[in-house]
Chains A and B, each alone.
Chain A
């Protein structure tokens, strides 16, 4: 039931920030006051139906103009401090697409552990460093979500934009296809290896208000939590893992539970208020 509820939230996360349907009908962009609001999810603000701004696009804009993005970074930090990476797991439309693609039955692989460092490199190099040096929004230019929700619709709708198509467009299509096809084979490749927004939220998983609690006394280390985890991690090894999307799918297991930093005894066990298992333990592999 909780799993289905997450799918409903993900669908809402895809539809509500793109509620300006008129944009598709009239081939115009929404330019009202909501466009100043940075959504805490990966949603291109050049999409014809986009109501809000992409935080990464805004951060890049400030980097490209040599300014510090206090507002966009502050918005992301407030969200991260509250719920950690939860918006990645429950609202992000590109994450939703990857979740759906992984359902296709075929051979499945695993992403190597070091790949998670790539998203920090994408944040530092493509979002901050290169835009600051070249004054060009290079991450947005290559972003697969931008290609899917803005590039392709605009090329379809507008003859003048179609006339401007160059080799960069085909590079963007190639990047989109790479992530779409790899999403069928491995769990959320873009979120884990390339998303700079996920890299920002990852920094808050350890200190966010919402936390994942693990009960070492009832956990049998069966590994089922990893099988249902959308990013293929073991929450019982480390409940504050920066990879964790806070989707709460693993809380179907009674040994894992959504809690807050203020909860002293998340599992309500007698005599555990100050003892083992009462805290959100950074667990270690058994043996």
Chain B
């Protein structure tokens, strides 16, 4: 049980960090440009 919670917390923290770093690098705009270029 504790292992499950720990695994979730680590996964969630890593995921949010990844997303925040991507947003910080302005990748939202790059995704938008890619979508618009099609």
Interface residues of A (CB under 8 A from B): 29, 31, 33, 35-38, 45-46, 53, 57-58, 61-62, 69-75, 77-78, 80-82, 204, 206-209, 211, 261-262, 264, 278-280
For B12, the chain A residues whose CB sits under 8 A away are 78, 81-82, 209
How far apart are B21's CB and chain A's nearest CB, in angstroms? 5
For A81, the chain B residues whose CB sits under 8 A away are 8, 11-12, 15
Contact partner of B35 among A45, A69, A204, CB < 8 A? A45
CA distance A57 to B36 in the complex (A): 12
How far apart are B34's CB and chain A's nearest CB, in angstroms? 4
B35 & A207 in contact (Cβ 8 Å cutoff):
no
A78 & B7 in contact (Cβ 8 Å cutoff):
no
Interface residues of B (CB under 8 A from A): 1, 4-5, 7-8, 10-12, 14-23, 25, 27-32, 34-36, 38
In the complex, 26 of the A-B residue pairs with CB atoms within 8 angstroms, ordered by the A residue number, are A33-B32, A36-B29, A37-B28, A53-B31, A53-B32, A53-B35, A57-B34, A58-B34, A62-B30, A69-B22, A70-B25, A71-B23, A71-B30, A74-B15, A77-B11, A77-B14, A77-B15, A77-B19, A80-B11, A80-B15, A81-B11, A207-B4, A207-B8, A261-B4, A264-B1, A279-B1
Contact partner of A209 among B8, B18, B27, CB < 8 A? B8
How far apart are A16's CB and chain B's nearest CB, in angstroms? 17
Considering the complex, give the chain B residue whose CB is closest to the CB of A210.
B8
Check A71/B8 contact, CB under 8 A, given A29-B38, A36-B31, A53-B31: no
